[in-house]
């Protein structure tokens, strides 16, 4: 069984999409092993998106992700890392396949509703950044 880190970004929370996203997770059959609404500390956001530190949009990205509450989710399921990325759709919603979260609920790359770990290494790192081991049940 594989674990991944998913996050409803501030635009998704602000727009009241949390129940819709949690419903999709349940219908897919993933198990929620950790769940919390939180405002991400700036330092945590900079670590989380560290791979993008040199990109021109980094400052905006960190401002956005720390600008309101997010919902951090630890998911468990068969092939959950790639499976959750598939359910989210492409980074740019214009390229996201119909029926994916980003195609259905987002219009811009900057505010694209969801995050999902992109590899086993990222999943382990991100789960450790957002959850204490005792919070994963």
For Mg ion, which is the closer residue by CB, 29 or 51?
51
- Identified binder of ligand ATP from the candidate list 29, 50, 110, 120, rule CB under 6 A: 110
Residue 94, token pair as written in the block? 């214009």
Residue 91 labeled ligand binder: yes
Number of residues that bind ligand ATP (CB under 6 A): 10
3-state secondary structure the chain: CEEEEEEECHHHHHCCCHHHHHHHHHHHCCEEEEEEEECCCHHHHHHHCHHHCCCCCHHHHHHHHCCCCEEEEEEEECCHHHHHHHHHCCCCHHHCCCCCHHHHHCCCCCCCCEEECCCHHHHHHHHHHHCCHHHCC
Minimum gap (Å) between residue 51 Cβ and Mg ion: 7
User: Residue 52 catalytic?
Assistant: no
For ligand ATP, which is the closer residue by CB, 126 or 134?
126
Contacting range for ligand ATP; rule: CB under 6 A; set: 27-35, 37-45, 111-119, 125-133 = 111-119
Indicate whether 119 belongs to the interface with ligand ATP (CB under 6 A). no
C-alpha 125/C-alpha 117 separation (Å) is 9
Indicate whether 118 belongs to the interface with ligand ATP (CB under 6 A). yes
Minimum gap (Å) between residue 105 Cβ and ligand ATP: 13
For Mg ion, which is the closer residue by CB, 77 or 116?
116
C-alpha 63/C-alpha 98 separation (Å) is 29
Q: Which residues are catalytic?
A: 115
Q: Which residues are annotated as a binding site for ATP?
A: 9, 57, 85, 91, 102, 112
């Amino acid at each position: 069984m594989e674990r991944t880190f998913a996050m409803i970004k501030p635009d998704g929370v602000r727009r009241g999409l949390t129940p819709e996203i949690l419903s999709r997770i349940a219908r897919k059959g993933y198990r929620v092993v950790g769940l919390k609404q939180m405002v991400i500390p700036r330092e945590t956001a900079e670590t989380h998106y560290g791979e993008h530190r040199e990109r021109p949009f980094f400052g905006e990205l960190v401002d956005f992700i720390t600008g309101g509450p997010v919902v951090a989710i630890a998911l468990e399921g068969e092939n959950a890392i790639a499976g959750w990325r598939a359910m989210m759709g492409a980074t740019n919603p214009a390229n996201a396949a119909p029926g994916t979260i980003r195609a259905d609920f987002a219009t811009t790359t900057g505010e694209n509703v969801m995050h999902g770990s992109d590899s086993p290494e990222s999943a382990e790192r991100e789960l450790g950044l957002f959850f204490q081991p005792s919070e994963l049940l």
